[in-house]
Amino acid sequence: MSIIKQGLAAFAAGTLGVALALPAAAAPTKFDFWFGLSGDLARVVDTLCKNFNASQSDYEVVCTSQGNYDATLQNTIAAFRAGKQPTVVQVYDVGTATMMLSGAYKPADKLMEENGYKIDYSDYFPGIARYYATSKGEMLSFPFNSSTALMYWNKDAFAKIGKTEAPKTWEDVGADLKALKDAGYDCPMAINISGNESWQLMEQFSAIHNQPIATKNNGYDGLDARLEMNKTKFVQYVTDLKKWYDDGLIKIKSKDLGQDMVQAFATGTCQVIMTSVGDHGTVGKTQKEGMNWDVAELPVYAGTERKNSLVGGASLWVLSGKSEAEYKGAAAFLNFIHDPKTALFWSTNTGYIPVTKSGFEYMKANGFYDKAPYKGREVAIESLTASEPTEITRGIRLGNFTQIRAEFGTQMQAIFANKESVQDGIDALVKNGDAILDRFQQTYPNKTLP
């Protein structure tokens, strides 16, 4: 063997020996994150997860869509019973009471403290934080995808009736809808009356008017809370909506009827809708060419002192029964999501709003709200912060609320089909909803909400 070959062989052997002597690089700790978004939103979440994994090398989050919110919660319950639950799960707003009573979670504030992260919880907008906090203000989960309801209005159509601003009161809405009808618009306003629309028609309306959905401060003060929207301004509101529907000022739009509300507005078919700020991007992408439109806070009845609207969306819960290493990964993931730079990414790629004041200020400093397609979304923040949350406007803490929403849809459809009067329909909603609450209370005997 030549001297050169001998040298190369020795070098190779030495290198191999050093490589064998060095410890192998530790593989990142993997942990699961289940979420309930689909389509484009699911792709954004996937990118968010990839961004987190690329930002460090200690942890790897494995993100899996469960298709929708209901499936995510049900699949998580089944997985927990089998000991195969994810470390982090996205749970929608109305699943909060169920999660609180389950005891199957590690409180988010304690998780972050135990892992050395100092989170300023006062940085969260109060109208968002208090929906997911205990009665003492302790954060059990991290707000994630958040939204609220707004009024979308066609500026071109309103210009034809001499208006340059959206109506601020429901009395003005009635007058403007009539004027739009008289100006030749076949569909001045579109609504839907399924269970999904309970959020904007009943829950948001009640909050900004400081009207209760249920006793016990909307359930925060006990599982024995019962519905009472049949005794509030909500009755007058439904009465007005039904009258405007009968007069042809409102049309019902849904996918089942061929065109949903957002499509009806974006195409210029209908001139006013009430929907989530999350639909702002969809309208911008699908609008009729050249259409001028804007968003505004939901109207209130004249003489009402407006209160904050309710947050919609979901929060992130960390489940119990996982390893310390997985909890360290979960804490790092939540801290990454809490970063203002992540808020900018999230809001840019979805219609959701920032959940923290620092995130909102960071986005403003970067010019996010200065021009289309994002200009106008700041109205959602104004709506959520219209007041300090009251004992009613901090949220709704009722069990099996998804079933109550379904009952809302059933009774609203009966009212609009003239099968029930407004009062009788809402009375039936309360009666049947209370039966749902009775069953939930029986499921958790002698338990109280934290």
Strands 29-35 and 272-276: unpaired
Q: Give the per-residue pLDDT at 80.
A: 93
H, E, C per residue of the chain = CCHHHHHHHHHHHHHHHHHHHCCCCCCCEEEEEEECCCHHHHHHHHHHHHHHHHHCCCEEEEEEECCCHHHHHHHHHHHHHCCCCCCEEEEEHHHHHHHHHHCCEECHHHHHHHCCCCCCHHHECHHHHCCCECCCCCECCEEEEEECEEEEEEHHHHHCCCCCCCCCEHHHHHHHHHHHHHCCCCECEEECCCHHHHHHHHHHHHHHCCCCCEHHHHCCCCCCCCECHHHCCHHHHHHHHHHHHHCCCEEECEHHHCECHHHHHHCCCECEEEEEHHHHHHHHHHCCCCCCEEEECCCECCCCCCCCCCCEEEEEEEECCCCHHHHHHHHHHHHHHHCHHHHHHHHHHCCCECCEHHHHHHHHHCCCCCCCCCCCCHHHHHHHCCCCCCCCCCCCCCCCHHHHHHHHHHHHHHHHCCCCCHHHHHHHHHHHHHHHHHHHHHHCCCCCCC
Position 449 scores a pLDDT of 86
CA distances from 111 to 34, 52, 107 (A): 18, 18, 6
pLDDT computed for residue 9 by the predictor: 44
| Contact in structure between 242 and 422 (CB atoms under 8 Å) | yes
Other CB atoms closer than 10 Å to residue 305's CB: what's the count?
Answer: 10
- pLDDT of the residue at 180: 98
Residue 22 has a pLDDT of: 53
Please report, in tens digits, the pLDDT of each residue of the chain (450 residues total).
Answer: 443 344 434 434 444 454 455 555 679 999 999 999 998 899 999 999 999 999 999 999 999 999 999 999 999 999 999 999 999 999 999 899 989 998 899 999 999 999 999 999 999 999 899 888 888 888 999 999 999 999 999 999 999 999 999 999 999 999 999 999 999 999 999 999 999 899 999 999 999 999 999 999 999 999 999 999 999 999 999 999 999 999 999 999 998 888 999 999 999 999 999 999 989 989 998 999 999 999 999 999 999 999 999 999 999 999 999 999 999 999 999 999 999 999 999 999 988 999 999 999 999 999 999 988 999 999 999 999 999 999 999 999 999 999 999 999 999 999 999 999 999 999 999 999 999 999 999 999 988 888
**Rounded to two decimals, what is the model's pTM?**
0.89
The reported pLDDT for the residue numbered 13 is: 46
Q: Which two tokens stand for residue 24?
A: 């192998």
Looking at residue 21, what is its pLDDT?
54
Write the burial class of residue 319 (CB in 10 Å: 0-12 exposed, 13-18 middle, 19+ buried). buried
Quote the pLDDT of residue 94: 87
* R_g of the chain computed on alpha carbons: 25
